[in-house]
Amino acid sequence: MEHTASSTVRIEAWSDTDLELLRRANAPELMAHLGGPESEEQLLARHERYVALSADRTGRGRMFRIALADRDEAVGTIGFWERTWQGREVYETGWAVLPGHQGLGIATAATKAVAGLARAEHKHRRLHAYPSVDNGASNAVCRKAGFTLIGTCEFEYPPGHALLTNDWRLDLAPDGAS
Ligand SMILES: CC(C)(COP(=O)(O)OP(=O)(O)OC[C@H]1O[C@@H](n2cnc3c(N)ncnc32)[C@H](O)[C@@H]1OP(=O)(O)O)[C@@H](O)C(=O)NCCC(=O)NCCS
């Protein structure tokens, strides 16, 4: 399955063949704000979760590889999934773009495409993103994709590690109502 994100980027359903992309996205410089690289065992488990989510048709979420529109080349990962946030069910999104392709608007275009697909589920009214407060690029993506900064919050991620993040929110209701 394929969705146009912009003239230069496509998002495509995560598949069995995307484990190598996940390994490339596990590079230390890409995982610096996410608690550092995961083990091969954690990556395999994550890949299985992504494949399963990708096949889900109940609105639990979706995972995608980000590909360049004019080439068959995967350059990043993105998706949305459900979480309970302050007593309400919402969608959360997160992303990564490989070095060599950053700073070109790829994550922003892919995020806008994912927001459109999350909206089309007609299931939850809010899409959140929680980048670390010192993740300049990721916070810029949220702002450029139209999210509103709500405040800061603390997560334990990965387990045993306190992470101070921003809470960005995009209203998915057609009229922006909450
Ligand atoms: C965050 C990430 C996905 C951005 O991907 P990208 O395709 O380069 O993003 P875009 O090009 O759409 O936008 C990046 C914006 O951040 C800005 N930016 C980059 N570094 C920045 C910094 N240190 N401080 C502030 N802004 C910064 C860029 O200037 C650009 O904004 P502009 O277009 O207004 O100039 C990429 O850096 C990445 O994969 N990081 C590691 C993984 C990660 O942290 N994921 C976030 C989990 S929530």
Q: What is the pLDDT along the chain (178 residues), one digit of tens a residue?
A: 455 555 689 999 999 999 999 999 999 999 998 889 999 999 999 999 999 999 999 999 999 999 998 888 999 999 999 999 999 999 999 999 999 999 999 999 999 999 999 999 999 999 999 999 999 999 999 999 999 999 999 999 888 888 999 999 999 987 644 4
- Report CA-CA distances (Å) from 111 to 46, 50, 86, 88, 133: 20, 17, 23, 22, 19
Backbone angles phi, psi at 93, to 5 degrees: -125, 160
The DSSP symbol for 174 reads T
Q: Which domains does the chain carry?
A: 2-171 (3.40.630.30)
User: β-pairing, 88-97 with 126-129?
Assistant: parallel
Mutation probe of ligand 1 site: the residue of 91, 97, 143 with most atoms within 8 A of C-beta: 97
- The CB of 6 under 6 Å from ligand 1? The reply is no
Decide: 135 in ligand 1 pocket, CB within 6 A: yes
Task: Indicate if ligand 1 lies below 6 Å from the C-beta of 95.
Answer: yes
Number of helical H runs and strand E runs in the chain: 4, 8
Interacting residues of 19 by C-beta distance below 8 A, sequence separation 6+: 43, 44, 47
State the pLDDT at residue 161.
86
Q: What share of the chain is helix, strand, coil (3-state, %, to 5)?
A: 30, 35, 40
Identify the residue whose tokens are 């890949």.
47
37 lines ligand 1 (CB under 6 A): no
Residues in the chain: 178
Residue with the smallest CA separation from ligand 1 atom 1 is 138
